[in-house]
Structure 1
Amino acid sequence: MRPYRVLLVSHYYPPHLGGIENVVRQEALQLAALGAEVTVLTSGARSRTSTADGVRVVEVAAWNGIERRAGVPFPVLSPALLPAALRWARWADAVHLHDCLYLTSWTAGLAAALTGTPHLLTQHVGLVEHPSALVKGVQRAVYAVAGRALLRRARQVLTLNASVADFVRSYGARPERMRHLANGVDTELFRPAASPAETAAARERFALPADRPLVLFAGRLVPKKGYQLLLAAHDPAAGYDLVFAGDGDSRALRGRPGVHHLGTLAPAELAEAYRACDVFALPSTAEGFPLTVQEAMASGLPVLTTDDPGYAPYELDRELVRLTPREVEPLRAALAELTTDAGLRARMGRYSREHARAAFGWGRHAERLLAAYRGSHG
């Protein structure tokens, strides 16, 4: 019997850095390890096909000016996308789309319909907050048209949290076809520092101060991630520094006392940045349980993030994970508490690591995916 064939579809894929592309990369590797034949359809600087670690990657040339100019990650792919999608949808036993906001998903969804191949869809987020009314309006229009069609036709719709589940239901996902499936995390790569010496070495590598608590933010520097809230809540006289890892508009970070910007980091570098810091803070909105929170927990860091209904399915201990309102004053108070109480940080860090190891395994995630693919033929 030939291996089961899966077409994973994502607007970006590593080496482009971001949460969705990291998830798709891990799914591809884990599915291949389970014996599936995996092809990834994505965008690239030029059209090409390559194979690495048992995964075929089909890149279609794309223009990324929207991301460069407006900070919106939306590649515009060449007309070669449709024939590529048709070819690989015809080859596949199942097509797995990631987020219905992108050209890759619309086109591969159409290709799946034309070839009679079942498609599944993972929706990662709901509507993304953005200062531009135009961007928000375009999002709503896309979800109302292309998104609704993809959600209605999907054999299964996979969501990461209750907030996103409510979102996809409002845009036509069939409740009986919806499933909760948490992302995984590499708990070997993302791990606590083995010793104070390892932490000191990581701080030296990134030119970070050795003598004060460090609060890490990891993510794109865009409004929905809340980096501006974190800056507003920071008190330079409180004895701790902020560390930002991610791309985007960094102008607000420049020249501020006690603020460090590491830029965009590859996964191994980001893992080291977690080990260099003492607290992880992400006052984001409409994300539920983002991958960086999982990585921070796996790295043994105390976590401070927005109180979001999306965390409910994970049954977190609210004494050991700080879930605060998305407001400056509660955030400032929580930062002050965590950066001055080493014992509390140690208790929260132990809980983070234990929870991550128990709940976020990529192997288990891939097994559930493969079962979902096979079940989509019924």
Structure 2
Amino acid sequence: MATDLTTGHEMCRPVIRLAMLSHYFEEHRGGVEIVAGALARALSPLGFEIVWLATDKKAFRDETSNPERRGLPASNIVELTAKIPYPLPFPSAIRSIFAEVRNADVVLVHDALYLTSVAALFASRFYRKPFLVVQHIGIVPYRNLILRSLMAVANRVIAVPVLNRADQIVFISDLTRRYFETLHCPRTPQLIFNGVDTEIFFPPECEADKATARADLGLPPFAPIALFVGRFVEKKGLLHLEHLARERDDVLFVFAGWGDIDPSQWTLPNIRVFRELVGPSLALLYRAADVLLLPSVGEGFPLVIQEALACGLPIVCGADTAAADKEAEPFLTTIAIDVETPKATAAALGAATSRLLESGENGRQSRVARAEFCRSRYSWRASAEHYATLLRGLVAFPKP
């Protein structure tokens, strides 16, 4: 265990060595890995010395910051062929996981389904280290029956056994918690929503700020802008958005992200694509838009929902996504999403978008109300302190 730190005459808590694992680093730009990075940075000043392990093209070790980063060599063949982000770690990566878990006081993994999480479970049991799982996702209802069946089987064969053996489970949404409600965990599973950095994501002060944001991004000053943020993959509802963009040439559809689906290939004049926006530049795009469209399925509570709320943006999303946090539902416009009927879903999405664009939902008062709700509901500081309490409890009392 780490030794005590003393600052002046004040005795601080013992520093805890935390081994944190996710399937990718945040440069991959998926929601899980972005949250992993944000949580690590929020925990660092709370008395945690963190080693963050995630797969990469090659092995590396960066000891220049807290969290310290350790790249695990892995194959990305599954994502390249099946378009599913599921890295396959090499044997040397498994050895690295065991080595880092051996030196840690406690282990935290993001999502039980990944092989890095499975390896971390075996290592934590071998070295008798407490093991916490942050479960982000339940089931993804892919249109492809084979993929949908594989996901269900993988949950039963991999995720559920890992979760049942965890010393503590944290769900990031009520939707995910309900999907896994039959689990048997020695400690009561906790619901902790992801946080959002409201120093970066905040609403425009006035219409002039919105106009400036559009000018900075090279967007037209007066066109209604519908925004999508996330990976360009099937489960995010890109097919629905393509149908809608073809029907609504009066709306400019802006896509921020990357993936195997390329909206710029739809050859539509009302499409703009940004691939490199993160942090402040992404927040600028939220402030430039009129509405966020997120017709995704099979997610917990996407971080982009929270970021858009922090920027005061009206949101259209699926009813399941909104149900992930009942407190947020009054601030969301929901539709039924059917992956088997993309045209019908696009029609519902279009109708909801029209209502928001024609209403007063983009006024200053409405934007401020959403931002204030987000600031009070989704604080990274409060979330990190909750995690810190759980982790300290596991270290102090590793067995219930």
* TM bin (shorter chain): over 0.9
User: What does residue range 87-236 of structure 1 map to in structure 2 within 5 Å?
Assistant: 87-170=99-182, 172-174=183-185, 177-234=188-245
> Aligned partners of 2:280, 2:116: CA distance in 1, in Å?
28
User: Which of 366, 374, 382 is residue 364 of structure 1 equivalent to?
Assistant: 382
User: Which of 58, 64, 78 is residue 70 of structure 2 equivalent to?
Assistant: 58
TM-score scaled by length of structure 2: 0.87
User: Which of 293, 296, 312 is residue 305 of structure 2 equivalent to?
Assistant: 293
> Aligned partners of 1:266, 1:245: CA distance in 2, in Å?
9
Cα deviation per residue 1:82-129 (whole Å; 9 max; x = unaligned)? Answer: 211111111112111111121111111111111111111111111113
User: Which of 338, 341, 345 is residue 362 of structure 2 equivalent to?
Assistant: 345
> Aligned partners of 1:33, 1:314: CA distance in 2, in Å?
31
Alignment partner of 1:68 is 2:86: no
Alignment partner of 1:333 is 2:345: no
C-alpha displacement of 1:132: 3.4
**Percent identity (aligned):** 31
C-alpha displacement of 1:277: 0.9
- Match for 1:104: what amino acid? T
Q: Name the CA shift for 1:173/1:223 in 2 (closer, same or farther; >3 Å).
A: farther
2:283 corresponds in structure 1 to 271
Matched residue SS, 2:23: coil
2:8 corresponds in structure 1 to none
Cα deviation per residue 1:138-175 (whole Å; 9 max; x = unaligned)? Answer: 322322222222111111111122221122234x3438
Cα deviation per residue 1:256-280 (whole Å; 9 max; x = unaligned)? Answer: 2322222243233222211221111
C-alpha displacement of 1:136: 2.6
User: Which of 253, 257, 260 is residue 272 of structure 2 equivalent to?
Assistant: 260
Alignment partner of 1:47 is 2:83: no
> Aligned partners of 1:80, 1:288: CA distance in 2, in Å?
32
> Aligned partners of 1:367, 1:14: CA distance in 2, in Å?
22
TM-score scaled by length of structure 1: 0.92
Q: Name the CA shift for 1:157/1:310 in 2 (closer, same or farther; >3 Å).
A: farther
- Structure 1 unmatched ranges of 5 or more: none
CA contact (8 A) 2:263 2:271 kept: no
2:333 corresponds in structure 1 to 322
2:34 corresponds in structure 1 to 22
> Aligned partners of 2:63, 2:283: CA distance in 1, in Å?
26
> Aligned partners of 1:78, 1:105: CA distance in 2, in Å?
14
Cα deviation per residue 1:303-345 (whole Å; 9 max; x = unaligned)? Answer: 1111127636441352x4212222333221111111223x222
Alignment partner of 1:83 is 2:95: yes
CA contact (8 A) 1:238 1:336 kept: no
- Match for 2:52: what amino acid? V
C-alpha displacement of 1:368: 0.3
> Aligned partners of 1:27, 1:363: CA distance in 2, in Å?
9
C-alpha displacement of 1:55: 1.3
CA contact (8 A) 1:29 1:53 kept: no
> Aligned partners of 2:132, 2:204: CA distance in 1, in Å?
38
- Match for 2:47: what amino acid? G
Q: Choose 149-158 or 202-211, whichever is displaced more.
A: 202-211
CA contact (8 A) 2:167 2:187 kept: no
Total equivalences in the alignment:
375
CA contact (8 A) 1:12 1:43 kept: yes
> Aligned partners of 1:127, 1:31: CA distance in 2, in Å?
28
Matched residue SS, 1:112: helix
Q: Choose 106-115 or 262-271, whichever is displaced more.
A: 262-271
1:244 corresponds in structure 2 to 255
> Aligned partners of 1:169, 1:329: CA distance in 2, in Å?
34
- Match for 2:227: what amino acid? L
Q: Name the CA shift for 1:223/1:293 in 2 (closer, same or farther; >3 Å).
A: same
Q: Name the CA shift for 1:111/1:176 in 2 (closer, same or farther; >3 Å).
A: closer
Q: Choose 307-316 or 297-306, whichever is displaced more.
A: 307-316
2:48 corresponds in structure 1 to 36
- Match for 1:19: what amino acid? G
C-alpha displacement of 1:243: 0.8
Q: Name the CA shift for 1:88/1:310 in 2 (closer, same or farther; >3 Å).
A: farther
Matched residue SS, 1:316: helix
Q: Choose 51-60 or 34-43, whichever is displaced more.
A: 51-60
- Match for 1:267: what amino acid? G
